[in-house]
Amino acid sequence: MNSHGFSLAGITLHAMGSGALWWPDQSLLCVSDLHLAKSERVARRNGTILPPYDTRDTLNRLAADLTVTNARMVVCLGDSFDDTDAANSLPEEERLWITRLQAGRRWVWIAGNHDPGPLEFGGTHLAEMPRPPLTFRHIARLGASGEISGHFHPKARIQTRARSITRPAFLVDTDRVILPAYGTYTGGLRSNDEALARLMRPEAIAILTGRSVYAVPMPR
Q: How many Å apart are CA 198 and CA 211, to the nearest integer?
A: 29
Residue 83 has pLDDT above 80, yes or no: no
Residue scoring higher pLDDT (82 or 191): 191
pLDDT of residue 38: 53
Specify the pLDDT at position 51: 47
Domains belonging to the chain, first-starting first, are 3-217 (3.60.21)
Q: What is the DSSP string of 205-218?
A: EEEE-SSS-EEEEP
pLDDT at 117 over 60: yes
Confidence of residue 53 (pLDDT cuts 50, 70, 90): low
Whole-prediction pTM value?
Answer: 0.91
Q: Which of 85, 76, 107 is nearest to 183 (CA)?
A: 76
pLDDT digits (tens, 9 = 90+) for 192-209: 999 999 999 999 999 999
> Cα–Cα distance between 175 and 96 in angstroms, integer?
37
* Alpha-carbon dihedral sign for residues 112, 116, 121, 122: positive
Residue 216 CB neighbours (<10 A): 14
- Give, for 8, the enclosing helix (H) or strand (E): strand 3-8
What are the tens digits of pLDDT across the range 140-189? Answer: 999 999 999 999 999 998 887 778 889 999 999 999 999 999 987 677 89
What integer best gives the mean pLDDT of the chain? Answer: 88
Confidence of residue 43 (pLDDT cuts 50, 70, 90): very low
